[in-house]
Structure 1
Amino acid sequence: MQLFREGMEVNLFSAVELVSLVLPHMRDQKWGRIISISSIYGREYGGSVDYMTAKAGLIAFSKHLALNLAPENVLVNCIAPGSIDFPGSTWDRFQQNNTPEVVDEFISRNLPAGKFGWPEPIGETVAFLASERADLITGTCLNVDGGQSRSLF
């Protein structure tokens, strides 16, 4: 149970706390962008139960906020990355701790693009959602996963 609580704290409650700190200013200025990083595993099976639950909660929290804050020009969205590789990541460790055959099998079964994702597309999506060009996008969760997710929603 402690591990579950810690997972919720790291992956959901920290985001809720951060939003509570910035939201009064955004409401006062009648403009704001809140962009949370969820996961494709907030929409479908994968990862630990605390991670999946927290990421699903983050998507629901964001949708609820979006619908309530849209009249105040505070837009709220999520990004759901797939398997993103960077130094020190879970996927970096996975590749280091498994044989090339195991890694290749994972990639062929799970990553239609034939490779792990990388951080820059996530950052570019955040930049777009934070811009004036995205001023009609709120309450959505965009997958940035190279086709990895299986969910239709």
Structure 2
Amino acid sequence: MPENSRKVAVVTGAARGIGAATALRLARDGHAVAVCDLDEPACAGTVEAIEKEGGRALAVGVDVTDAAQVAAAVARTAEELGAPTILVNNAGITRDNLLFKLTEDDWDAVVAVHLRGAFLMSRAVQSHMTEARWGRIVNLSSTSALGNRGQANYSAAKAGLQGFTKTLAIELGPFGVTVNAVAPGFIATDMTAATAARMGLDFEDLKAGAAQQIPVRRVGTPDDIAGAVSYLAGEDAGFVSGQVLYVAGGPQG
């Protein structure tokens, strides 16, 4: 990759799963990566994997719902790696339950991490992007944005991210910044394994059943999502903005 094409990327929720795969993929694309997660020591594995392949990475502990922590994380990234111009808002949690069982805390926690977190991170990083007159923001939505039983909080947050994405694309476009969302379908991660456990289901059985409902007849992997993010974060996607890319093995919506 030419030197002037190498950027500094920030990936939240990057200690494991989709975030870790995305951080590694962006490092392979030639970018330095701030591996951000609530638990900084948990980022060590992702950082080690990147450095083992000759990439540059920095573990950064940050609660994306805390404005002061977000500002500090972005400042530290800029100081130690360089001004960040790629942001992947991947941090997320689930607190699944049917509406009549859903507590205010369940609602607030999920909306805070997904929506407030993406807002705070984007606000903190955008100054570096607008100054550079180049930037890429990729928000992680979900097929659940279209509705999913037991996920009123998660679905609302992921749908909200799609509106957030389209609005930022309008606002930041004049500064050379594109903003898009990737909406995964069923992806085999620790999070979906935990969902299976809560449902009292064997994870392998859950994946097999899900695969039968997907046209390509398999569930997704974190690398499937990382590939989509890589495209949207790259030079080839410079005329793609305000879009929601469903990566779900078949048509959605």
* TM-score scaled by length of structure 2: 0.54
Q: Deviations over 1:7-57 (max 9, x none)?
A: 101221111110011001111111100011110111x11151110000011
SS in 1 for 2:169: helix
Q: Distance in 2 between matches of 1:51 and 1:41?
A: 7
Backbone CA RMSD of aligned residues:
2.1
TM-superposed deviation, 1:121: 1.4
Larger RCO: Structure 1 or Structure 2 (Cα < 8 Å, ≥ 6 residues apart)? Answer: 1
Q: Which has the higher helix share?
A: 1
User: Which 5+ residue runs of structure 2 have no aligned equivalent?
Assistant: 1-103
1:32-47 aligned at under 5 Å gives the runs: 32-42=135-145, 44-46=146-148, 47=150
1:146 alignment partner in structure 2: 249
The answer on whether the counterparts of 2:136 and 2:233 sit within 8 Å (CA) in structure 1 is yes
Question: Aligned letter for 2:108?
Answer: R
Q: Deviations over 1:42-100 (max 9, x none)?
A: 1x1115111000001101001000011111111000000001003x2224652894256
- Pick closer, same or farther for the CA change 1:135–1:150 going to 2, 3 Å: closer
- Pick closer, same or farther for the CA change 1:97–1:61 going to 2, 3 Å: same
2:33 alignment partner in structure 1: none
Q: Deviations over 1:84-134 (max 9, x none)?
A: 003x222465289425666544432x3222221001111111111111111
- Pick closer, same or farther for the CA change 1:104–1:65 going to 2, 3 Å: same
1:124 alignment partner in structure 2: 227
* TM-score scaled by length of structure 1: 0.86
The answer on whether the counterparts of 1:37 and 1:79 sit within 8 Å (CA) in structure 2 is yes
The answer on whether the counterparts of 1:83 and 1:91 sit within 8 Å (CA) in structure 2 is no
- Pick closer, same or farther for the CA change 1:112–1:97 going to 2, 3 Å: farther
1:62-101 aligned at under 5 Å gives the runs: 62-86=165-189, 88-91=190-193, 94=196, 97-98=200-201
Q: Distance in 2 between matches of 1:104 and 1:121?
A: 18
